Amino acid sequence: MDKKPIGIVTDNTTDFPKEIIDKYQIEIVSVKVDWPEVTNSPGENSFQKLREAKKMGIQTFPKTSQPSVKDFFLIDERIYSQKGLILKDN
């Protein structure tokens, strides 16, 4: 049986370490986040921004929505053309 490369896709709420994302070339699709009060606050991800918001006394929470079908389709199309198989974590 021939081995075929697999493309891995997840969204940016994943807790995969950066080393794993880089090593396995995992593609990240962004979850939509609307949180104007925290847009420019420090933090690389939503969890860090939540901690910073709490420190700053911000009482609101972000509004989120999943990535669109089109967001996934564009990445899927590219990965499929390169690798042939796709594994999704979502």
Q: What is the pLDDT of residue 86?
A: 63
**Residue of 4, 15, 3, 17 lying closest to 86 (CA atoms):** 4
CA distances from 34 to 61, 63, 74, 83, 88 (A): 9, 5, 22, 33, 24
Helices (H), 1-89: 18-23, 46-55, 69-83
Q: What is the pLDDT of residue 23?
A: 94
Q: What is the pLDDT of residue 87?
A: 61
Q: What is the pTM of this model?
A: 0.62
Q: What is the pLDDT of residue 75?
A: 83
Q: What is the pLDDT of residue 72?
A: 82
Q: What is the pLDDT along the chain (90 residues), one digit of tens a residue?
A: 677 777 888 888 888 899 999 998 888 888 887 877 776 777 777 778 788 888 888 888 888 888 888 888 888 888 877 777 666 665
Q: What is the pLDDT of residue 7?
A: 82
